[in-house]
Structure 1
């Protein structure tokens, strides 16, 4: 129960931050999209992970408030440079250390968790514009036999 209470506090903080950012916009004109990765994480005992529980609670509470939620396929989100993707280029990241990544194209260094989050946000932004993904993060078409 304590973990759920902590999650609810964190979620309330996120929703307050969104409300604060949108304070000048009327409630029915707000266009807020929560783009959440759809990856699954399991514990060794085949139980849902704390991460998965948090995402599910965030999704339920934000949808109850009328916000849109998009589950994003995490394909390539942790391996492509978000700076290059936002410019329409494909650039895979080198991972010289455990927590940091480097782009050989733009020479940006970024924390590995930031890479995935930034790319998921870019996918959400592109989804709002065209209901698609940025080309650099698109899955290749299936091979016909």
Structure 2
């Protein structure tokens, strides 16, 4: 069953501050790689699942997609989309929620940053304090 934390005010207030929401696609670290595998969108029908603020939907329209549908996720929708369309799926990588205390660690000597992955291999439901408590 999908988890919807985006309607929680404490989470939402922090989520909208992420670069990917402030700067759009250019603020999403995965965008260059994702863009490189996209087909020419001219004349295509595009389904944007979990569209959030609609950054990709607008990109698709600007790149001549014939029709763009931006909707939220459901199992039936995914089944139908897989039957009818080519599907490229991008989700928030668990690297952000894997650490028991998600944050950048800064080396005091060098100033280099690292992101701890202490619980990355743990399977199943994760609850952490990322952007808001209990996510």
| TM-score calculated relative to the size of structure 2 | 0.32
Identify, as 1 or 2, the structure richer in helix: 1
TM-score using structure 1 length = 0.31
